[in-house]
Structure formats: C-alpha cells, structure tokens
A and B are shown apart, each in its own frame.
Chain A
Amino acid sequence: MTAHNHHWRKAKNGLMQSLTCVCAVLVILPLLLVFFQLVARGASSLNWAFFTQLPKPAGEAGGGMANAIAGTFVLMLLASTLGVPVGVLGGVFLSEYSHRHLNWWIRFGADVINGVPSITWGMVVYALMVLPMKGFSLLAGAVVLGLMMIPLIMRTTEEVLQLVPTGYREAALALGIAQWRVISQIVLRTALKGIITGVMLALARVGGETAPLLFTAFGNAYWTHRLTEPVAALPLQIFNYAISPYDDWHRQAWAGALVLILLVSSINVCVRVLTRDRFAKRGS
C-alpha cells in the first residue's frame, strides 16, 4: 500500500464523516429555526392576559387565548377517556392472546389507520356525529382525537407488553393465578411506564391536530359550557388568527404557536424522563 493511497483513504473517510454529520445536524436545524422564530415573534405577546382572557373582537387590542388553552386540555382529557382504554385493551389483546390471523388483520388495520390523513378523520366524524347532532361540538372534537389515539396507543402498548419477559407470565401462571389477573396485576404493572409513555406520545401527536378539529370542534370565541357546544382549541385559534388580516391577531397566533409547541415539547420531555429509568429499580 502506498502512502498516497493511505492519505486518499483517510481523506475519503473524513469527507464521509463530515457529510453524515452535516445531515444529522440538518435534522435539528428546523427545530431550532421553528423555536427561535416562535420566540422572536410570539414571546412579546405572551403575558398574563394571554392565559387568562378571552379573545377580543377584531380591532380591539389585547385579549388572550384562555378558552383555547383550556379547550385543548379538555379535548385531550376527553379524547383520552376514549383512546386510552380502547387502545390499551386492544394492545393487551394483540400481545397476550394469540389469535394469529385476527392479530395480523388488527395490526395491519391499525397501521393503515395510523397513515390515514387527519383531515379524513375530521370528515368521517363530521358525517357520523356533527351532521346527525346538527352542530359542531366538543364531543365530536374529543371523539375524533380519541379515535386517532387508539391505533397509536394500541401499537405502543403491544410493543411494551412484548418487552415484559415471558418468565414473569410463566411464574405467575405457575402460581395458579388466573390469566386476566396475571395480565392486569403483573404484566400491565411491569409495563406501566412504557404504556404511559405511549399514551403521552399519542397525546402530543393529537394535541397539535388542526384539520380534524375544523370539522368537529370548530372553534369558539367564548367559553364552552356543554359537550354539545363548539369549543376553542389552540391549533384552531392559531389557524383562525393566522389567516386573519389583523396584525394583532398575527402576533397572538405566534404566541399561541409558542404555547402549543411548549406544551408538546414538555410532554415529550416528560416521556424522556419516564423512559430514562425504565429498567431502574422501584421501591414499593
């Protein structure tokens, strides 16, 4: 091997390494861009009123997104009451009961549904709930988000249950414990952190959805008092303000986007903290 050859190899190696490094950094660059943009344009509009007041009519300065922030939380909570039990129990079925053919179809279905564009979900629930109930509603918004959560939670639940060693199931069954108790008291408890992680990731995903809510929750400039009334949500409010012609609303939209991304990021940070010590020891 000649020295020239050796240098060329080293140069090639260095080149490839730099190239892959640049590409890897490009992944986080948009995140930084988004974040700086939002802080630069939205932070100045973030104040106490933003979190506590209703939106002001067009042309009036001030006001806030209190109803949209609360609406997003209520939507996420109600969506969870549908998405979490169905998703978790579905995941339990996939992981713990073996029905080879049925399982294949359910997994396939869940993966296809995960790929359905969210606006399609909105239209389906619009047709199935909004039209028959003759109005946009908080309930329809929660249902559409809940439906979107089901396949996400189901698949992550299945995955984390599969991580529970078979030895625990066998040990419990060998004690003469009935299978549903083995699942609920041993397997689910062992996988609890992973399941919570899956639920939070699903929440982070649907929390920022706008399209399905356009057809269901619709948005509301005031507080919502009933399940059957339209409700405001952060993504909807951002959308409506962003397409408006008013500068003040634009600034509020930026602030809303900042709050939304902080909300989603904080959920993701919680997930990180939770999963960091997944295999750590736990006292009783």
Chain B
Amino acid sequence: MPNATAESKPAPPAVPAVSARGLSIFFGNKAVLKNVTIDIAARAVTAIIGPSGCGKSTFLRSINRMHELNPDARMEGEIRLFGDNIYSRDVEPVVVRRRVGMVFQKSNPFPTMSIAENVTVGLRLNGLRDKKLLTERTEQSLRMAALWDEVKDRLHAPAISLSGGQQQRLCIARALAVQPEVLLMDEPASALDPLATQKIEDLIIELKKDYTIVIVTHNMQQAARSSDFTAFFYLGDLVEFGATTRIFTNPTQKRTEDYVTGRFG
C-alpha cells in the first residue's frame, strides 16, 4: 500500500537499500543521467516513471552495473548498496549482479533449458552442485514467483512451452533463486495481457515483504497501484521523488503534474 506518512522524508531513517549520490551517466559524449541523488528504501516498491529516453532504464541498469555492457558508458558519482560502494575499484560487476537481480521487459527464459533448469541456472553456473539444495530452491523460488502450482507437474518441460505471462514469472523465479537483496524490474508487464499483468502486480506487492523492488514502468496506473515511492525522471534529471500518493495527487513540480495527468509523454 502507498505509504502516506513517508510524505516529508522519501526514505526511512534506516540504511537505504540503494543510495545514489551525484550519479551521472554518459554514453560517449551524451549525458543520459545528470547528477541524480536518490535514496531507495529497503523492502518497499519504488517506481521509476518518465517519458521514453528520460534515462529511467539507464538508472535502473546502473544499479547492477548492466549499463557497462555498453563500451561507451562512463559514470560519475557513486551508488551504495546497503552502504557498500558498488563502483569501488575492488568490486567486480559479477558480485554486484548477484546482489541485485533483474527482470527484463521481454521475458527471456533460456530456450535450451527446462523450467527447473532455468530457475537454478544462476546457482549452477556459479558452482552450486548440491542436488537437494537445488531442488529446494527451485520449489521455493517458483512458489515466491506464484508459478509453482502451474508448473509443478512439468518442471522438466522446455521453458519456452510456457505462456508469455508464465515465462515472465519464470524469469522472476530465476532472479529470486540467487537470493538477491534488490530486484530491478524493467517494464516487466509491458508485453503482457491485462490478466498476466495483474498477476505480476500482485506478485510485486507480495515480494516487497522480503525484497527491495525498483520498477521502471510506462503505465501510470501500475505505478500508482503497486509502488510506495515514485521517482519521475525527465531528460536525464530526477525531477521529483516522493511517496507515490503524493506524486500522483499533489506533485510539487509542474512537469511531474503534466506527466502523471497525461498531458505529455
């Protein structure tokens, strides 16, 4: 539920899950993200909204250093994950990504693997061999992703035999299986029908009991329904950040108001 009491202080006093300070990201000479400072609360859902090209996906990808896959990417400032500087020179991106999971817009289960193999792939390819533990973690992750009942009888069927919505929940289970601290979701429901979208949104609310969730969405209703905090990005700037109810009912910035009321974007 949106938390109205967090009105004046976007983040609770505890250590924020993700804390960016003066974060700028460049692709070549183009600044995609400009001097963003934000504290993302633990065990809450933070929605990132804004028109296409505003830098919201780049911000999301900077939290698990995925933006570095672009060889022209360069960053300034810092991001801390529960206090740890994830851009420190002695931190490998691989280690950051184990702590910060990600779900993509287009569901992407590995086509050569079964449902169960997809869930455990992150564990197996990081060296976990214990069969019993893998089986446990498969069921646990699929249950958390609200997929267990639908697939428990065909765990060894190819993952791509699932429906689009099921595939996306499988991708969520796959991300959860490595037990990340933060889960990033990049428009996870934008390619799904309303019913499947509903399931993903219910799941997001369920998951925030245990996880910190940051979700990029183009869907205002989705942000309003499922997030506690909302950050509005525009042309690389963080324009406004606060409790979701306030952003949607009483924004302080004209641009935020125009965007959430559908006047542009």
Contacts and interface: CB of A to CB of B under 8 A. Distances in A.
- Do A and B pair up? The answer is yes
Interface of A: 98, 165, 167-168, 170-178, 181-182, 185-186, 189-190, 192, 281-284
A173 B112 contact: no
A98 B73 CA distance: 14
Nearest to B70: A98
- The 10 A-B residue pairs whose C-beta atoms are closest, nearest first, are A176-B98, A175-B122, A284-B114, A174-B102, A167-B108, A176-B97, A177-B125, A171-B108, A189-B112, A181-B125
A282 B111 contact: yes
B121 interface: yes
B114 A98 contact: no
B129 to A, nearest CB: 14
B122 A176 contact: yes
A259 B95 CA distance: 56
B24 interface: no
A174 B64 contact: yes
Contact of B113 (A170, A192, A284): A284
Given A190-B112, A282-B112, A170 B104 contact: yes
Q: Which one of A170, A176, A282, A283 has the highest number of Cβ atoms from chain B below 10 Å of its Cβ?
A: A176
Nearest to B96: A176
Contact of A167 (B64, B106, B156, B160): B106
B95 A174 contact: no
B126 A176 contact: yes
B198 interface: no
Nearest to B114: A284
A178 B104 contact: no
Interface of B: 64, 66, 69, 71, 94-99, 101-102, 104, 106, 108, 110-114, 117, 121-122, 125-126, 156-158, 160-161, 171, 174-175, 178
Contacts of A171: 102, 104, 108, 110, 171, 174
B178 A170 contact: no
Given A171-B171, A177-B122, 13 more contacts: A170-B66, A170-B69, A172-B121, A174-B101, A174-B104, A175-B125, A176-B98, A178-B125, A185-B125, A189-B110, A192-B112, A281-B160, A282-B112
A175 B121 contact: yes
Nearest to B95: A176
A174 B112 contact: no
Contacts of B121: 172, 175, 177, 185-186
A190 B111 contact: yes
B18 to A, nearest CB: 15
Nearest to B158: A281
A178 B96 CA distance: 12
B114 A178 contact: no
Contacts of B156: 283-284
Contacts of A176: 94-99, 122, 126, 178
Contacts of A189: 110, 112
A284 B158 contact: yes
B157 A283 contact: yes
A177 B108 contact: no
Contacts of B101: 174-175
27 contacts: A165-B108, A167-B104, A167-B106, A168-B108, A170-B104, A172-B110, A172-B121, A173-B69, A174-B101, A174-B102, A175-B98, A175-B121, A175-B175, A176-B94, A176-B122, A177-B94, A178-B94, A178-B125, A186-B112, A189-B110, A190-B111, A281-B111, A281-B161, A282-B112, A283-B156, A283-B157, A284-B158
B182 to A, nearest CB: 12
A260 B262 CA distance: 70
B158 A177 contact: no
Nearest to B106: A167
Contacts of B174: 171, 175
A163 to B, nearest CB: 12
B96 to A, nearest CB: 8
Contacts of B111: 168, 190, 281-282
A175 B106 contact: no
Contacts of A174: 64, 66, 97, 101-102, 104, 175
Q: Which one of A171, A173, A182, A281 has the highest number of Cβ atoms from chain B below 10 Å of its Cβ?
A: A171
Contacts of B157: 283
B178 A175 contact: yes
Given A170-B69, A284-B117, A175 B97 contact: yes
Contacts of B158: 281-284
A168 B110 contact: yes
A65 B160 CA distance: 49
Contacts of A181: 125
B97 A173 contact: yes
A72 to B, nearest CB: 33
A245 B97 CA distance: 73
Contacts of A185: 121, 125
Contacts of B94: 176-178
B71 A98 contact: yes
A239 B71 CA distance: 53
